[in-house]
Structure 1
Amino acid sequence: MTERYAEKIETALKSFITDHPGTLTREQAISTILENWFASHGYLPPQQEGLRPEELDASNDD
């Protein structure tokens, strides 16, 4: 992995942690990202927790 690529990943990871206050550690953030990616690509069953607050908008109202 190139240094520039690693820097971009680290910046994105820090942004993710900032945007998800319940994520306390770097390892938790990486785990959450991987779990979401694996679930959205069919490698894990989808979570049944519902939507995160940042995913809610008027189109979600039933």
Structure 2
Amino acid sequence: MSELYAANIETALKTFITDHRGTLTREQAISTILENWFASHGYLPPQQEGRRPEDLDASNDD
């Protein structure tokens, strides 16, 4: 990677960490960014939260 890109990426990473102050270490931020990118580009399945279909019933309706 060229020095120009490294500086831009470092700035973006610092901004990302600042936006998530107190919740992410540098390593966690990099991992989060990579997971999001891989998932949005089809390399990882999207992270979904919630109940499994077999656990759903009428009592789960909001």
TM-score, reference length from structure 1: 0.70
Extract unaligned runs of 5+ from structure 2.
51-62
Is 2:36 the counterpart of 1:36? yes
Between the aligned partners of 2:40 and 2:49, the Cα distance in structure 1 is 14
Identical amino acids, percent of aligned pairs: 84
- Number of residue pairs matched? 49
For the aligned residue pairs, the C-alpha RMSD in angstroms reads 1.5
2:33 is aligned with 1:17: no
Give every structure 1 segment of 4 or more consecutive aligned residues whose post-TM-superposition deviation is greater than 2 Å: none
* Larger-Rg structure: 2
Return the TM-score normalized by structure 2.
Answer: 0.70
